[in-house]
Structure 1
Amino acid sequence: MNDYEIANIYKQFSPSIFRYMTYLVQHRQVAEDLTQEVFIRFVRTGDVHRTPVEIQAWLRKTARNIAFDYLRRKRLFEFIPFIPIHEKLVEHPFFELEEVRGLYIALGKLKPSYREVIIWRKIEELSIKETAEILSWNEEKVKNTLKRAIQALRKEMGGVHDE
């Protein structure tokens, strides 16, 4: 795999992986580090014979594994809300919109499985099938968890509690 191929793959897929990491770990610098780790592992595999779809699937699955390894190591895997980093949110253009900032903070209060299914389905707009593959769940579990996650997110954001 040459430098040009690596740079193109990074340019194409890193924004999505970084967004996922940022929403999941709730810390910009950690998300940057974990995103880099995903791509370092990809380069180490040296597999240039994959299609873009296969590369993207591999990166997403690896990102999930790396993020949860990090959360376990830091003992943040428990269902304890993350502390929002208000100062850091303002520094990054992604968080300039009040709606995004509110979503980010509310997501941080959800348990990791809820946070993750919302990120993949609603923010990254993956299909149910793609989400199920990344999470190693069946499609029905994705649907049910997403429904519960959206209800919990609405509650966190001060919306309707029951429909």
Structure 2
Amino acid sequence: MSFVRNLENLVAKSVLGGVSSVSENEMSTASISLIEQSRTENVLIAQGLKRHDAELLDRLILQYQHRLLRYLLFLTGNREIAEDLFQETWMRVLTRGTQYNGAARFDTWLFTIARNLVIDFRRKRTMASLEEMCENDGDERPFEVPSNDPNPFDQYQSSENAERVAEALLTLDPLHREVLVLRFHEELSLDEISQVTRSPLSTVKSRLYRGLASLKPRMAQQPALEAR
């Protein structure tokens, strides 16, 4: 899955539930096999963390290091802070690995640890939580994005535009930015984002709507890099 996503499909499938859920009987054998493989992998990771398996931890760091650092960079907007929290996140994985039971995907658990560390860091520095930093976060009324408008992520055509998207994301409120990063960069489901952020599903949907709506004008205001 890439950033190129039709907004109408996103709203219908991810948010509004326009596509009916597929029963297990209707799923292909390959899809069922992938689900079982993922569950088995999660269980093996949980068992390895309980044993404090150093080789397993090395593999996990290698597999998730880029995604985790990217998430922390978008959440903090500061590379030095992100790198410090990156190290601390893996220390938490090492010392608290017994808390992971394999019921959820490992990356969901990993991002939850990282997010909690960001919140703790902000509270120590500013006495404000991530939620308190977001303007008008209390307004969680449904917010419709016109389906005929182009999705800001449809502009993700090249590395130059990727940089523009990243710059625009950093101008959003932290909570809206976080949901967009988890949804489009990390490809987490809305339920998984709800777990990471400890927010109701309706709140996650609202933040996704508002984040997309806020991102579009910011992208329009940025001149293309080629024209600079």
Displacement of 1:150 after TM fit?
0.6
Question: Are residue 27 (structure 1) and residue 78 (structure 2) matched?
Answer: yes
Displacement of 1:46 after TM fit?
4.0
TM-score by length of 1: 0.76
CA distance, structure 2, for counterparts of residue 7 and residue 48 of structure 1: 19
- The letter of the residue matching 2:86 is T
- Aligned residue for 2:60, secondary structure, equals helix
Residue 79 and residue 145 in structure 1: after superposition, are their counterparts in 2 closer, same or farther (change >3 A)? closer
Query: Relative to total residues, which structure has the larger helix share, 1 or 2?
Result: 1
Alignment match, 1:155: 217
| 1:1-163 matches, cutoff 5 A | 1-47=52-98, 50-51=101-102, 53-75=104-126, 78=133, 97-158=159-220
Residue 44 and residue 33 in structure 1: after superposition, are their counterparts in 2 closer, same or farther (change >3 A)? same
CA deviation vs aligned residue, 1:88-142 (integer Å, no higher than 9, x gap): xxxxxxxx93222222221121111101111111111111111111111122221
Alignment match, 2:24: none
Higher RCO, 1 vs 2 (CA within 8 Å, ≥6 residues apart): 2
Displacement of 1:2 after TM fit?
2.6
| Contact 2:100–2:109, Cα closer than 8 Å, also in 1 | no
- Aligned residue for 1:110, secondary structure, equals coil
Displacement of 1:74 after TM fit?
3.4
TM-score by length of 2: 0.56
Equivalenced residues, count = 144
CA distance, structure 1, for counterparts of residue 99 and residue 175 of structure 2: 32
CA distance, structure 1, for counterparts of residue 76 and residue 100 of structure 2: 31
| Contact 1:25–1:71, Cα closer than 8 Å, also in 2 | no
CA RMSD of aligned residues (A): 2.5
- Aligned residue for 1:19, secondary structure, equals helix
| Contact 2:134–2:175, Cα closer than 8 Å, also in 1 | no
* Identity value in percent: 28
Unmatched 5+ residue regions in structure 2? 1-51, 136-157, 222-228
CA distance, structure 2, for counterparts of residue 111 and residue 49 of structure 1: 30
